[in-house]
A and B are shown apart, each in its own frame.
Chain A
Amino acid sequence: MPEEKEVLLKVDHLKTYFPIRKGFFNKVVGHVKAVDDVSFFVNRCETLGVVGESGCGKSTMGRSVLRLVEPTEGSVVFDGVDVCKLKPEEMRKFRSRMQIVFQDPLSSLDPRYTIDRTLAEPLKQHTNMTDAEIKEKVLELMEKVGLPAFHATKFPHEFSGGQRQRIGIARAISLNPEFIVCDEPVSALDVSIQSQVLNLLRELQRELKLSYLFISHDLSVVKYISDRVAVMYLGHIVEMAESEELFAHKLHPYTQALTSAIPIPNPHLTKQRIVLQGDVPNPANPPKGCPFHERCSQCKAICREERPEFKEVSPGHYVSCHLYN
């Protein structure tokens, strides 16, 4: 009997369009539909993995949820609060509850700040701790992410990639958030370091009851860390299900093609690879109908005309494809 899960974050029909400006007067000549009508939810203490190839809007989606990029339309409800409707001042305060870990750990740290200063900054901003308390808390945070205390007065460029990412994670958890967007947190790291950082994220999740929106283009990473997985293509979520369910029953043709690209570390096993034809369409000018129809092997007439609905086809398994209507 699965326990009742509490929805922490609910995103409905989120759209983030970037205007394309041209000419001397910066006239808006069109929009890049980076995130185009996505809906999903994240339960408390759960990890929702988001996969998709580069440029499909995963990062923009993560940033839109935190309003680091202003969404064009739609609602983001976090623990009953519509984040998109918060005034700037309220939003600033609310940010302590939802944090982000960036892809490139070096450029996400101010090069002029020593690590203790970087970690003290959010604490100074949101709490009334004294300097001594902050210092203690900084050391505690560093210990939590596995950094010895003597690193505190170093500059970011003096660390290795894995250590920098630990600092990024320490900053994200410093304000005891409930939700963290992990924007490709391990893709800039060596494989051996990747697993360390992933395990750290898992431990912290258990310990601090965190929920993650875990964005990655690496399917094996997502499979490892996620409870549920959403597959994105061209600004849309095409399929979303429990991790095991998704990898066992891939419904959407895009998911099938994508998962067939996971390398198997066994040279004797050969696997049928589905190789997609063509390129990802331009998100400034997406195709009519299903966004995937131009590259889909099972494309039908209706796919060219109508955009498929995002529907629940079996409990907890959502897919957006005309094959399953």
Chain B
Amino acid sequence: MKKKKQIEGEQLAPRHASGWQIFCRNKLAVVGLCFILFWVAMALLAPVISPYEPNALDYSVSQQPPSLQHLLGTDQYGRDILTRVLYGARISMWCGVISVGISLIIGTVLGGIAGYYGGVVSIIIMRVMDAMCAFPSLVLAIVIAAAIGKGTVSAMLAVGIVSIPDYARLMFAETSSIRGRPYIEAGVAIGLKNSQLIFRHVLPNCMSQLLVKATLGLGFAILTVSSLSFLGMGVQPPTAEWGNMISDARSYIISGQWWMATFPGLAIMTSILGFNLVGDGVRDILDPRNRTGV
């Protein structure tokens, strides 16, 4: 009897898949998540995994190809490449999170205000954003990094600032479209305040776009910080960072020491690929239409 009742309930009540179930339907996203988790684990466990110091010089083993002592080889100063790649993951992950955090918060607020309130405010904000977009983002990042001064923090700031218009524009487009939808009008009709409308209805409905953009943005941020370091504007040697490792190694590619540039390059590639694939999975989770059915 009890069992029968349960079955009845199951038939009638809607079955909604959990976010994790939806995410798992996207096989590539799971692969991406594995890449990210791999790099996060590497970053956290770097001292445990590697017996070497990332900046310890040992000229007796300089420019060694991959071997059992140095799994990924050594660079021109005899530093272990594996160790430096692992420690580089720490910097890259932080750069991604901090710079995306900066651009996400500032961009969302600016774009949201412009989109929700419209009028003169939106014209001023969005024209400034357009002006920022007029510069190629890498060039703008170089200029900002140069203005603040070289270093890890200024690279993060520069990449963060450069990406603000992307988020602001996305948020502007989303809010101004959602602003005109009948369910917002319905919210006004039941007497919601502006703040309640924004936080309960407008923002949650922009969230999926923003989160997807942010996950993709993490990849972009890692790449741009690496590019800045490669150009000498970002993370300064001797700190291990994928971009400046490639930069150091570039003259050795032709002379045959391929491992110096290849492994940090692979690290950049897999981490960015991971974030991009996860971005797709996140998009699936956030669409309520995907919840129906298990």
**Residues of chain A whose beta carbon lies under 8 Å from any beta carbon of chain B:** 26, 63, 66, 68, 92-93, 95-96, 99-100, 102-104, 107-112, 121-122, 125-126, 148, 150-151, 153-155, 157-158, 168, 171, 175
Q: Determine if B182 and A107 form an interchain contact, defined as CB atoms under 8 angstroms apart.
A: yes
Main secondary structure of the interface of B (DSSP, over half): helix
Inter-chain CA distance A102–B196, complex, in Å, is 21
* B192 near A125: Cβ-Cβ < 8 Å: yes
**How far is it, in angstroms, between the C-alpha of A100 and the C-alpha of B191 when the chains are bound?**
12
B5 contacts partner chain A, Cβ-Cβ < 8 Å: no
Binds A, one of B28-36, B74-82, B163-171, B284-292: B284-292
> Which B residues lie within 8 Å of A63 (CB)?
185
Closest-by-CB residue of A relative to B123 is A26
| Chain B residues bordering chain A, tally (CB within 8 A) | 28
Contacts of B181 in A (CB 8 A): 107
Q: What does the 1/0 interface line of B184-201 toward A look like (CB < 8 Å)?
A: 011111111100100011
Residues in B whose Cβ lies below 8 Å from that of A151: 14
- Measured CA separation A157–B201 after assembly (Å): 16
Q: Which of chain B's residues have a CB closer than 8 A to the CB of A96?
A: 190-191
B191 near A92: Cβ-Cβ < 8 Å: yes
Q: Report Cα–Cα, A26/B187, bound state, in Å.
A: 29
Please give, as numbers and ranges, the residues of chain B lying within 8 Å of A109 by CB-CB distance: 183, 186
Interface 0/1 of B17-32, CB less than 8 Å to A? 0000000000000000
* Extra contacts besides A99-B189, A108-B183 (10): CB < 8 Å: A63-B185, A95-B189, A95-B191, A121-B200, A148-B12, A155-B288, A155-B289, A157-B292, A158-B14, A171-B190
Tally inter-chain residue pairs, CB-CB below 8 A.
83
Name the CB-closest residue of B to A121. Answer: B190
In the complex, the answer to whether A122 meets B190 with C-beta atoms within 8 Å is: yes
Are the C-beta atoms of B185 and A92 separated by less than 8 Å? no
Q: A93-B191, A121-B190 are in contact. Are A111 and B288 (CB under 8 A)?
A: yes
Instruction: Determine the chain A residues whose CB is within 8 A of the CB of B294 once the complex forms.
Output: none
Assess whether B205 is interfacial by the CB under 8 Å rule. Answer: yes
The reply to whether B13 and A150 contact each other, CB–CB distance below 8 Å, is yes
Task: Let me know if B292 and A108 touch, CB within 8 A.
Answer: no
- In the complex, what residues of B have CB within 8 A of residue A175's CB? 190
Are A155 and B190 touching (Cβ within 8 A)?
no
Q: A102-B182, A125-B190 are in contact. Are A157 and B289 (CB under 8 A)?
A: yes
B274 to chain A, nearest CB (A): 27
- Give which listed residue, A68, A121, A150, A154, contacts B188 with CB less than 8 A: A68
Identity of the chain B residue whose Cβ is nearest the Cβ of A66 in the assembled complex = B189
B237 within 8 A of A: no
Contacts of B120 in A (CB 8 A): 26
Q: How far is the CB of A64 from chain B (nearest CB, A)?
A: 13
